[in-house]
Amino acid sequence: MPDSTAPAQATTEPRPVYVIGGGPGGLAAAHALRAQGIRAVVLEKSDRVGASWRRHYDRLHLHTTRRLSALPGLAMPRRFGRWVSRDDVIRYLEKYAEHHELEIVTGVEVSRVDRAPDGTGWLLHATGGRELTGGAVVVATGYNHTPHVPDWPGRDTYTGELLHASAYRNAGPYTGRDVLVVGVGNTGAEIATDLLEGGAKRVRLSVRTAPHIVRRSTAGWAAQYTGVLVRHLPVGLVDRLAKPLAKLSVPDLSAHGLPRPDTGLYSRVTEGSIPVQDVGLIDAVRKGRVEVVAAVDGFEGGKVVLADGSRVEPDAVIAATGYVRALEGLVGHLGVLDGRGKPVAHGARTPKHAPDLYFTGFTNPISGMLRELAIDAEKIARTIARGSAGRVSRLSG
């Protein structure tokens, strides 16, 4: 008869690897794990994969080439062209999940990750009071997770139309209107161009810090190719190499409000700011069709107050002011985030005090997000296969 006073033994039953997020990073990780013979379960809070891609504006195309944007195990079709559209990215992600027969559970949002009570693996708290225990966890909730609008003075009482770029779809609602776009990252630059081409009466672009601008492609050579080549070179060296190249390929727009940046291109990338890839902004600014104005300082009634003291009264303001990772509620209590809310470890590395907890898709590399997601997925899968034997479920057959 068993001794009822004996201490409870830690559970050793193998558990699946839970992948949080059904975007490109999560799907790539799930396939790479399956390829290693490991059971991976994708938990996606929306009802379909690729939710964040479905929210992007209509004209969006990848700034990375089709060949260098495919995920492991499935090429993108040639018919998608060199610069893949948003809709084709969504089609590809749907096909990817189907082709690899990935195990995906939709409508399940994970709110918190804790250490499992037995000290091995992780306990996930999810929708409907679910508690799921995994042998390892891959967090792939995405770089563009939660829209961010600065808390500008007077924003709450602003009487004009104000929306985040995540709510922008196309120029149709803005035909014949005066629009101010705030932010000159790739999203802001492309929306400004889209508005201009779509018939907006006036387009102004509010800029706080002048960006580095590069041509998406020069004589057939994609900017991404250069990014791949310099990915692991010293930052200072890349800064020095990029400066004369920029002068040759991009005109000086200082007279139009976009001076050349004082800091180096790759230095900016390490701070989280990738170059703007030109899809029409350069010509629009040079011809005065997109007007560059000062940064937004706040709102007064129906007017927008700019940093130079001027006030403008557009019909609509589109805030292309980025996103936050919003990981604090999920894993912030584990001490795995830095002061900016980004994971302290990424890819195949895990935080020292949080083994078997992996993060992918929380950097914005110069060599292309999708390319790096694909590389990270395979590295993470190999690491889990080597280091988690016996703790993670294996696929049968």
pLDDT per residue, tens digit, the chain (397 aa), is: 344 333 334 446 899 999 999 999 999 999 999 999 999 999 999 999 999 999 999 999 999 999 999 999 999 999 999 999 999 999 999 999 999 999 999 999 999 999 999 888 999 999 999 999 999 999 999 888 899 999 999 999 999 999 999 999 999 999 999 999 999 999 999 999 999 999 999 999 999 999 999 999 998 999 999 999 999 999 999 999 999 989 999 999 999 999 999 999 999 998 888 899 999 999 999 999 999 999 999 999 889 999 999 999 999 999 999 999 999 999 999 999 999 899 999 999 999 999 999 999 998 889 999 999 999 999 999 999 998 767 898 887 6
How many domains does the chain fold into? 2
- With respect to residue 9, please indicate whether it lies within any of the assigned structural domains: no
Q: Residue 309 contacts by C-beta under 8 Å, 6 or more apart in sequence?
A: none
Q: What is the pLDDT of residue 397?
A: 61
Are 379 and 318 in a shared domain?
no
Of 322, 343, 365, which residue sits at a domain end? 322
Is 17 in contact with 128 (CB distance < 8 Å)? no
Strand partners, 337: 343
Are 287 and 240 in a shared domain?
yes
- With respect to residue 279, please indicate whether it lies within any of the assigned structural domains: yes
> Structural domain of residue 216, as residue ranges?
149-322
Is 14 in contact with 37 (CB distance < 8 Å)? no
Q: What is the pLDDT of residue 13?
A: 82
Is 292 in contact with 258 (CB distance < 8 Å)? yes
Of 322, 343, 368, which residue sits at a domain end? 322
For residue 150 the two structure tokens come to 């600065």
Separation between Cα atoms, residue 46 and residue 44, nearest integer Å: 6
- With respect to residue 394, please indicate whether it lies within any of the assigned structural domains: no
Burial 301-339 (b: 16+ CB within 10 A, else e): eebbbbeeeeebebebbbbbbbbebebeebbeebebbee
CATH number for 259:
3.50.50.60
Q: What is the pLDDT of residue 6?
A: 38
Of 300, 322, 344, which residue sits at a domain end? 322
Are 44 and 123 in a shared domain?
yes
Strand partners, 217: 222
Q: Residue 156 contacts by C-beta under 8 Å, 6 or more apart in sequence?
A: none
In DSSP notation, 43-76 reads EESSSSS-HHHHTS-TT-B-SS-STTSPPTT-PP
Of 119, 134, 133, residue with least CA distance to 10: 119
Q: What is the pLDDT of residue 282?
A: 96
Q: What is the pLDDT of residue 387?
A: 85
Are 28 and 103 in a shared domain?
yes
- With respect to residue 6, please indicate whether it lies within any of the assigned structural domains: no
- With respect to residue 114, please indicate whether it lies within any of the assigned structural domains: yes
Are 108 and 190 in a shared domain?
no
Are 276 and 157 in a shared domain?
yes
- With respect to residue 307, please indicate whether it lies within any of the assigned structural domains: yes
Are 78 and 22 in a shared domain?
yes
Separation between Cα atoms, residue 181 and residue 295, nearest integer Å: 10
Separation between Cα atoms, residue 264 and residue 362, nearest integer Å: 22
Separation between Cα atoms, residue 278 and residue 251, nearest integer Å: 12
Are 183 and 280 in a shared domain?
yes
- With respect to residue 364, please indicate whether it lies within any of the assigned structural domains: yes
Are 165 and 221 in a shared domain?
yes
Q: What is the pTM of this model?
A: 0.92
Are 332 and 263 in a shared domain?
no
Strand partners, 218: 221
Are 207 and 85 in a shared domain?
no
Are 179 and 274 in a shared domain?
yes
